[in-house]
Amino acid sequence: MRVSRLFTGEESTPPGLPNFDSTTVFVRAAASYLRGEAFPRLGMIHPKLIPLAKRVNTLPRDARTTIYTQGGANEGIDPDELGDIDVERFRRWVVDQYPKRGYPAVIVGSSNGAAVHLAALLGVPWLPQTFLLPVQRSMDADAIREDIRWGAEHAPPLLEANPDVSLHQMHDPNQDRLMVRKLAYFRVKSRTLGEAYEEFLETVLEPGGTVISLECGYEWPAIDVGERHSFQLGGLGGLSPEEYYEGGERVADFLERQGADRPEWDVPEPNGTLPESEWGFEPALREDVERVADERGYEIRRLAFDDPRDLSPFVADRYRERYADRDRSVDRLLVQSFALVEPWWTIRTGSVPYWAAFNTRPDVEFLESYLEDARPYDEIRTTLFSHGVESAGLASIDDWRGALSNARDRHGFVGVDTDEYPYDVETHVRYHADLPDDIEARHPHPPSMAFERFESIAADVANEYAIEWEER
């Protein structure tokens, strides 16, 4: 899943790195907080374009989906330029976002929205392993075998130019249906820290500082395409891997609604499982982290979990404890959907952050499971990412209302046009504009939690959550 650049033509990232991928947005959000800044409009939409952006929902739905699709296509690169892509420039862009000062720790690894809030809590940077490289091409959304052949033909120059990455080509004809018609999704995972990350650690990590290896063990069936190149059909969301590869009633119903001429997708049998393209952790990076730590005397801690959403309860409860320590209310929960993350206003309003990976039924179920185990909240609100398609497994507005109704007092949506979801393109602007109006409470931003304090808590409570905290 990714967010297209809908309203701005600015190109502030290196060639090949899209502005609105989850990784790019998460880096900007984490860095904005460390600079003491709010994070409006996904970090990119120019303020002068806000009035226009707030009127997009007045267009017919077909027009909105066309804008969404074309905006994404505009961020893709020409396939003939793949050999010119330097992933090291992506990593250099990441470290350039952060203030250059001393940090007790740095988080390195999996992309994860809850990790953005963890980084804000600790006052430390987060350095991602995974980057999306969207490549322009036109293709039927259901032409799976054709996309595999296309990737095999065009990927070699990219891999030859970047020997320290693995390529996880992903094609999701369900949730990313609008985009895969115009773009190939090439996600690259760093197998080494690279020069930029190594230099950053040496520059900013305090003596005896800690590298937190953030490792999401989420896997997905994949097809071996070539050396360091795999193909993944589908991804984390409303359908299971088996439904993508083998079909089923929900797939058949979805394809019928889309006017497709098939009841299931025609795809080769997977060779095995690999780290999921967007969220999974490639273990080769840990080996390089350990090498650098040994050479430079860094401490290493491993924070691991199986599902991207497993980190959210752990982070939410750390915020609750932090607020309680400072005699603040601990009864306001703000659920933040996919890329709609805002650490600065979360803390400013005294809200406990809970990250929902997307807008599907499993995301609702994860939230409900957390609320069942947590002490009740007085207020629960959520942003809700719209991706412009009624995908199989999508959670309805009523599904989300049911989860939010666990609040003892007030509950509702932030920046969501419930009548237009999941075609609510305006939410990419409105989520941030509405947040301070919907939540009137204001609190000063507290000092960062001491890393030693956090480490002690993590070691004590890890077995209460679906996470591992390990000293290496």
DSSP letters, 359-402, are SBHHHHHHHHHHHHHSPPPSEEEE-----SS--TTBPPHHHHHH
* CA 28 – CA 34 distance, rounded (Å): 10
Domain ranges (residues) in the chain: 22-305, 312-438
Please report the sign of the dihedral spanned by the C-alpha atoms of residue 10, residue 4, residue 427, residue 337: negative
**How do 229-233 and 219-226 pair as beta strands?**
antiparallel
- Closest by CA to 333, choosing from 397, 375, 381, 376, is 381
Query: Is the previous residue joined to 173 through a cis bond, with omega within 30 degrees of 0?
Result: no
- In whole angstroms, how large is the CA radius of gyration of the chain? 21
* CA 232 – CA 247 distance, rounded (Å): 15
Q: Which residues contact 198 (CB under 8 A, 6 or more apart)?
A: 292
> What count of residues does the chain have?
472
Buried b (16+ CB within 10 A) or exposed e, 222-242: bbebeebbbbbbbbbbbbebe
Tokens of 162: 């970047």
Per residue of the chain (472 residues), give pLDDT as tens: 544 444 343 447 999 999 879 999 999 999 999 999 999 877 665 555 555 555 677 778 777 676 666 666 778 999 999 999 999 999 999 999 999 999 999 999 999 999 999 999 999 999 999 999 999 999 999 999 999 999 999 999 999 999 999 999 999 999 999 999 999 999 999 999 999 999 999 999 999 999 999 999 999 999 999 999 999 999 999 999 999 999 999 999 999 999 999 999 999 999 999 999 999 999 999 999 999 999 999 999 999 999 999 999 999 999 999 999 999 999 999 999 999 999 999 999 999 999 999 999 999 999 999 999 999 999 999 999 999 999 999 999 999 999 999 999 999 999 999 999 999 988 988 899 899 999 999 999 999 999 999 999 999 999 999 999 999 8
332 SS3 class: strand
φ/ψ (deg, to 5) at 170: -125, 140
35-41 long-range contacts (CB < 8 A, ≥24 apart) are 35/99, 36/344, 36/445, 37/344, 38/342, 38/344, 38/345, 38/432, 39/341, 39/342, 39/343, 39/344, 39/345, 39/432, 40/342, 40/432, 40/433, 41/428, 41/429, 41/432
Tell me which architecture the domain covering 312-438 has in CATH.
Answer: 3-Layer(aba) Sandwich (3.40)
Question: What is the pTM (predicted TM-score) of this model?
Answer: 0.95
